[in-house]
Structures are given as C-alpha cells and as structure tokens.
Structure 1
C-alpha cells in the first residue's frame, strides 16, 4: 500500500534531514547541459561541419551533460540476440564506435528507459550497458530487475556528485522490469511508469458510447457508472474538455519517489528523466498528469526534471527554483542503423527481398516531415549559491533537408531560424509562467535570489 507521505520529504520526519537535505548542494558555477533523444548510429565527431563543432563545445563545457539514449549499441556480426516482435516503432541500432564518440562529445550521463530499450531483447540491453560502462558513461533506467532499473546512478564532478534516475511512461509491455517474488526470479527490463488512459467526453458523447457498449456482447461484466463507460477496452468518462486523461500507477509513483529520495540522499544534485509520447507526438502540450508528477519529484528532492519522447519541443517551467523541461525534442535523428527486423518491413508494407533498410526507414519517417521534429535546443542550467541562476537555450536544427545519409546531425542556428525556434518555445512556456528573453540568438531565463 502506498504511503501517502511518500512524496513529501517535509512529512518524513527528522530522519530525512539527518540523512540528507533536499536542497541543491553544488559549488558555484555548476552547469548542467541537457538535450533530448539521441538517435545516432555512427561516430560523428570527425564531422567537418562547423555547426556541429560549436554544438560539441557547448556540451563539453558543462559539468554534467545529459541525453536520452534511444538506441541499442552492438556489432550485428557478433550479436547473439535477435530483434523482438514488440519494438518501439523502429529497430534503433548503433555501431560500437558510438560509445567512445558520445563520450568525446561530452556526454557523461544518459537515460536508458524508453520505448526502444529492448528492441533487440535483453541481449541488446546488456550489450549496450557493456559499451557504456567501457566508456565511462553513467546510465540509468534499465537493469536485471526493477530494483536495478529504478535505482539512481552517480557521476562525480568537480562541483558536486550528480544522481540520475530514468523512467518511461511509453514502453512495450514485455520491456517492463520486475522484482523477484518467492521462487520466481526478477525480470530484466526498464523502469516503467504505467499509465491508465481514459478518453474525456461530454455527457452527450458518453451516452452515445454507452448505447454502443450496451449492444456489444462481452465476456467482461461492465459496471454501471453514470460518469464512465468501457468500450472495447477503452474507458470513456465525462469531463469539461474533450481529450485524454492519464492516471499514473500509485505503486510506480511510490517506487520512483522513494528512489528519488535515496538518489538525493547520496548526491548533491539529482536529475530525473522521463520518456513519454503521451498524449501523442502530435501534441505540443504535456499530458495532464505530468506537471503534478514533475512537481512531486522536485518536492522529493529532484533538482531537475527532463522530459523527452514526442520528438518535438514542449514548454519549460521553473518550479521552486528548479528547471522542468517537458520535452527537449530530438538531438540526433540519424537513422542509418542497420539492419531492421522483419516486423518493421511488414509494418511498412515492404519486402526484405526487394526493399532496402533505408527505404523502410524513409517510410517510417514520413510522419516526421514537419520542421518542428528537426528543431530543438540545448538547455544549459547554471547554478550559483546552490540556486538556479540562469538557463541558456541554444537553438539547433538537424539537417532536415539534407540527403538521407547526411541528415540528423545537430548544428547551432542563428538569425531568423533561431528566432523562430525560440519564439515557439516562448509560446509553449508561457502557460507555465516562464519568461524567455532572446539575446544574440540564444534564449535566456534568469532567476533572481528571490525567484520562486
């Protein structure tokens, strides 16, 4: 049963103060660089593109640099696993050289919990962990059981010890990690945040759904509820605005909050990252549960919340002096990894005896032609006196109009394109009360000593 005080350290009693305060505890000048999804298949630091070189400098200059690793890393020639029937929409695969290349770029921590974590099964998950460990990149979000997948992992910097926790609300059911139970062993996989989805409709719409439900035969008893109807496995309920409602699983929330407390107790700065596509990649707004979830994480000790998943930017909120990024979009969209599993050929009506992997991936990417999927920012947060003092947002573009073999690599942009990206981020952040200035093609959020 969930302890109702689990998410509120102030109600934990004096014991929490003894083992560690929830306050940020880093030396002056501490910086965190954060980006979104790393979909990269090859080493790219050898690129002569000056725009990418400028990107790398921003990443390397930070004390801690985070990205969401949305690929598996291994050599297909020696790989002992196989592509899974359940996969995240594409079989993201990277060459082993990506490990040292990410390190060379400046990435020192990465999230692993996402809908691609087990595209290549447990073997792919383990091999990716091996490559990251070999290259000294701290990673969290997957493990041999739920306790390992949910645990914080730690990175030492000159200005403080950083904890990272990673979870995913979008994942394939078979990818979810589990703990042992009696004689049953634990299950390898990712740290899941399960959501129950309902569709919110008007009272008149609900009556139409109820009418359809009443004439459909079913083996499952349908409870009589004046404000809710189940139809073909989907729940509909009455609300003020038509849309989607998500209720997070109370047990998952309790586990995550406890792991955040533990992570902060053993560190000076705690980052929590969540991968979710809800309510859909089409939405520029986060799902209805996420703001409350992010606030509870910060109340439990998180110093930053980093969201990713929908492949486009969403708004930024500053809560109790900590940054909340509801989505940082894509950082890489280099989709050259091969091979693809047979299921992906089937799903896009391709024949592996006739069509190539590239043709399959072009078909998969047809839904991402809008420029918003190819534009994002690098977010650099700077702390003074253990308080967020400034947040700088460097606009990037991923080469949408380049040929297939060259696109997907970020470069800093300026003038009109930079302004358009930052204007959009201003609009997306306004509902959260966040003001973003634009100075020399960079977005800037400044916080004074009395900022909330």
Structure 2
C-alpha cells in the first residue's frame, strides 16, 4: 500500500521552465507503451511521437489541484519530483505558472538507467499526453549542440511524468528535454551551462525534476530532505554533493545556471514523502519555485545524534571482530544513505580507543581497538562526546590516545569525564553557521552546575548554536527521568543551549520542550552488548534541523539484536511513538515535531 504525505507551503512564479530530474526510483523501468509514430504536422515539419507516462486521462485527473492559486510573481525555475505517485506535486508548480507567457520548458533529468550512450543527451521528439500534445523546441535543441538520442527518452520518467502538465497548463510552450549521467565531465558541464545561460530568458521556465530521499524510513527521509531542500534554497552547492541525492551533479548544474541568471529568490511550495507502509520505506519530494532577486535562504543546520556506542567486550569478540560494517547493515540503506544528508553525525563514545589495554583495575573497564577510528570516519560519523564514565577506563594515557586516533581519522571530540571547562568545547563550521558541541558527565563526577552553565554561556558567545550531550540519570529507568536531570537540563537551556541530548541510562527516556528547546533525557543504547532485556535493546536516534525561526525534531526508533540495530516496521513505529509521546506528556504522536524558535531574552 502506498500512502501520500504532504505538507503545503505557498511560493513564487516564473516564465521559462527547465526541469531537472533525479533521485533513486523505487519502481521498475516502464514498459514501452507504443512504437514511435511518424506524424506530419505540416508540409514542412514531421515529428517522432512518444507517449507520456500512463496515457489514461483518468490517471492524471486524480492529481489535478482542486483550485489553482497563481504565483504572485514571475517564476523562472522550479524543482519537482518525478515519482509518479507524487504527480500532484508537479501539478502544483505547473498550474501556478499557467498565467505566465512561457514559450519553452527545459526539462533536465538524471539518466538513472543509463539509457543514453553519451553522458548528456537531448531529443527533438513530440509527446502525446492525455491533455494534448507537446512539441519540441527544435531551435533551442539545435543551439545546445549536444547529442540527440531520441530513443533514450521514450520511457524516461523524468520527462514522461512532466509532459502532461506542460500540455495542460502551458499549452503553447515547447519542450527541451535533457538527461545527464553521473559521469559527465566538468568540461561538458561548463559547455552546457554556458549555452543554457545564453538561451534562458524571461519566457523560459527551468525546473529541476528530482526525487529527494529514497530507501529509508519516512522520518529519516524527511530529515534528510531538510538538508537537501535547504541546499536547494540557500544555493550551497557543496552541500548538494554530500546530500542523499544520486543526481548531485544535476542539481549543482541547475543551481549554477540560476545563480548566474540572478534567479536566487525561492519559496517552498510543498514537500512530503510517498510511503510504502508495508516496508516502511519512503521517497521524499519537494516543490520549490525560483524568481529573480538577490536574497538567498539562510541554510538550515542539521545534526543527527545517536546514544551510547560501546565497541569492545562482546561487541568486539562476538559480533564485529573489529569490522564495524556489520553493525550498520540493517539501517544504512542500500547505498549507505543514512550516513549522508546532514551536516553532522554524532554519538557518545562509551570507552577509550587504545593499542595496548591496561590490566583490569575496575569492575567494568572498556577499551577499543584503534582500527575502529578510521572505520567510524569512513562510515560517516563526524564527532563523538567523551563526557562519560568510561572515558578514563584506560586512564589518562588511554584518553589522550583516544583523542589522537579520532583526530588522525578526521573526527572531532568534545567533553570530558571529570572537567567542565571551555577547552573541551569543539566549534564546527557549516555554511555560514558555527556550532558549539559541549559534553558533560554527572554520573561519577561531582556536579558543578554553575560551571556547566558558564561553559554554555561562553560557548554561545562564540557560536550560533550550542548542542549539549549529557551523561546523567539512573540506569534502567525506562520512560521516566529524575527531577535532578530536569533541573540540569533547564539550567543549561537558560544558559543558552539549543538542544540537550542525554545518555547513560541504557534505556529510552522521554523528551520535553522547554522555552522552545528540545531536551532528550536518554536516547538509549545505540551499540552495546546488554542483550538481557527488551528495554536495553531499543533506542532512537534524533535529527535536529535548526532554521531561523524554528527547530524541527525527527525521531528514528530502532531495536537491536546482538548489538545490531534495525529500524522498526510501520506498525512497531506507531506503537513506539505513541508510548514515547505519552511518557513525554505530548498531545501529538508524531515522529516530526516543529518547535517555534524561542524568543531571545
């Protein structure tokens, strides 16, 4: 069963359409509907004809908007999906520009199935759709000077799902379809960009038709789409290359063309996920409109966090044998997309990394092989909190060696087991924002509340955002937390923290929102060898998307078996979120929570 989930926002308008299509598709390539038809339009011109996706008019009419609200200004470009079940989203864009004098629609798509023999191709075919016919702009096709491979376009969904809307809403417009493969050269990109800049004018609509996230749970797809949509609106092209999109080269080209034409003001029209509830896997989509202007959106800052990671003891001897890839097989996605699509991926490293472990001097004493550090970096982690009660399990030598191994692998660390000093804060840059990562341990360390608050205050003076990871609370206290934990958390928020993320109890504890700031009392175990109860074998990751006026929280619940996590099924996820939100005193049971930004005091 496929379910549509969408969130509506209203946006701008344009006159020339270029459609770029990309992303992983979770459906089979289309079967050919008909052989090319030779038709004579006049004595001078003849066309090869292809059909749009699904020739039945009834199919497309279900996606027609109930009412059309024209864009308030001239839209010159847009982003739309090519997933057939998200066709209503494409209709939103095309219907909103139906009043504009668009003469040419340039549709840029990603050649996902490598149908073309060249890394870039166009076509001069005409299209039959349920709403009418769409003709090629042969003049522009010729001026582009790129290979014409008509056959590659016959069942190319990046094109066939868009032409019905061109026929319905832009009846006089002609089409220039372009598909690009991942292996396109920098020289070809520059040549195409130069020619496109010469040809795009006020009567051309440029649209990037691109699916967003694919192959993960709906909440993960939505969180990753925060990152991609932010990049599309802020024109942070380097972020596109680290997004989940497989068509990064196409999106970068699209943004470069718009930037050079001064088409950088944007509005998010709608976004959402197409979800298969049988598999709990989603494909994300977004509709963005662009117009002339010089104001770009400020990029969001996105952070994914997990709880306690213990990579020694039975995890090392019975599960990984120091091959960490086995831990993430069930959650990473088919193309490792879990570990892409956010600015930072962090967790609590519950133990030291050391070559020669010390003789046992305490009851529970952890140590991890140095081979884990470069693996963690290769997997996609960015940083780790060392503020926990096991950071000194190999004494000072082990702590210093841990820091060395992390740094040599390109990973940052923050926090300390016994100290609350500014020297243990780590500042990280992303886009035009600075994030301060702070860690405190109050389990086996006498709490110095004033010292912790002072560190947060000073960190906030040097950063746009302060994220605090706390090691606190009573072990195995499931779905509840102590008054003292709450006091700590609220004091940190009062000092300037923008999020507080807890660990140590080994079980899930609730969340709350205080003064517009999310507080997570315990994410539970992420990677651990506590295989003795259901509560110690469940946890959740959290996605934090910081915008100028709000913070969006995404929750990613999982269960583990022998330390290996797996995402919950749709039914399991619904039951989990219901109990979690009930314990969190929330009236809304949802995996995505939008929190208005707190007022500055």
Is 1:60 the counterpart of 2:340? The answer is yes
Closer/same/farther in 2, CA of residues 57 and 319 from structure 1, 3 Å limit: farther
SS of match in other structure, 2:392: coil
What is the aligned counterpart of 2:358 among 82, 85, 103? 82
Report the CA distance shift for 1:297/1:414 in structure 2 as closer, same or farther (over 3 A): same
Match of 2:324, SS? coil
Choose 1 or 2 for highest CA Rg.
2
Q: Which residue is equivalent to 2:589?
A: 437
Q: Distance in 1 between matches of 2:431 and 2:469?
A: 22
- Cα deviation code 1:231-283 (max 9, x no counterpart): xxxxxxxxxxxxxxxxxx4xx111111111111111111111111242x3234
Candidates 350, 353, 368, aligned match of 1:94: 368
Measured after TM superposition, the shift of residue 299 of structure 1 is: 1.3
Assess if the C-alpha contact under 8 Å between 1:138 and 1:154 holds in 2.
Answer: no
Instruction: Say whether 1:163 aligns with 2:436.
Output: yes
Give the whole-Å Cα distance in 1 for the aligned partners of 2:420 and 2:372. 28
Contact 2:505 2:522 in 1 (8 A): yes
Residue 548 of structure 2 is aligned to residue 396 of structure 1: no
1:26-63, CA deviations, whole angstroms, 9 ceiling, x for partnerless residues? 94322111111011243423668343437953343211
* Distance (whole Å) between structure 1 residues aligned to residue 384 and residue 393 of structure 2: 18
Alignment partner of 2:310 out of 33, 39, 62: 39
| Corresponding residue pairs, total | 295
Report if aligned partners of 1:56, 1:106 keep a CA contact under 8 Å in 2: no
Task: Tell me how far apart the structure 2 counterparts of residues 264 and 149 of structure 1 sit (CA, whole Å).
Answer: 11
Q: Which structure 2 segments of 5+ residues have no match?
A: 1-296, 313-321
Aligned pairs (5 A) from 1:253-268: 253-268=449-464
Matched residue, 2:498: 303
2:352 to 72, 80, 83: 72
- Of the three residues 30, 33, 38, the one matched with 2:301 is 30
Moved over 4 A (4+): 147-150, 448-452
Distance 2:597 2:459 in 1: 26
Encode CA deviations 1:338-368: one digit per residue, 9 max, x unaligned.
xxxxxxxxxxxxxxxxxxxxxxxxxxx4xx5
Q: 1:137 to 1:283 in 2, by over 3 A?
A: same
In structure 2, distance between residues paired with 1:96 and 1:449: 41
Task: Name the CA distance, whole Å, in 2 between partners of 1:55 and 1:319.
Answer: 37
Matches of residues 401-440 of structure 1 in structure 2 within 5 Å?
407-430=562-585, 434-438=586-590
CA RMSD of aligned residues (A): 2.8
SS in 2 for 1:92: coil
Whether the 8 Å CA contact 2:332–2:339 is kept in 1: the answer is: no
Q: Tell me the distance in 2 between the aligned counterparts of 1:371 and 1:310.
A: 14
Kept after mapping to 1: 8 A contact 2:512/2:584: yes
Q: Structure 1 pair 86/319, CA: closer, same or farther in 2 (3 Å)?
A: same
Q: Give the structure 2 partner of residue 244 of structure 1.
A: none
Say if 2:507 and 2:536, in contact at 8 Å, map to a contact too.
yes
Give the aligned partner of residue 274 of structure 1: 470
CA contact (8 A) 2:345 2:383 kept: yes
- Higher RCO by CA contacts (8 Å cutoff, separation 6 or greater): 1
**1:371 corresponds to:** 534
Contact 1:84/1:121, CA 8 A, preserved across alignment: no
For the residue of structure 2 that corresponds to 1:315, the secondary structure is strand
Contact 1:150 1:167 in 2 (8 A): no
Indicate if the aligned counterparts of 1:55 and 1:412 stay in contact, CA closer than 8 A: no
Is the 2:507–2:539 contact (alpha carbons within 8 Å) kept by the matching residues of 1?
yes
Q: 1:158 to 1:286 in 2, by over 3 A?
A: same
Q: What is the aligned counterpart of 2:523 among 311, 323, 328? A: 328
Distance 2:334 2:599 in 1: 31
Matched residue SS, 1:53: coil
2:563 alignment partner, SS class: coil
TM score, norm. by length of structure 2: 0.46
Secondary structure of the equivalent of 2:508?
coil
Which position in structure 2 is the counterpart of 1:176? none
| Distance in structure 2 (CA, Å) of the matches to 1:136 and 1:58 | 19
For 1:317-356, list aligned pairs within 5 A. 317-333=512-528, 335=529
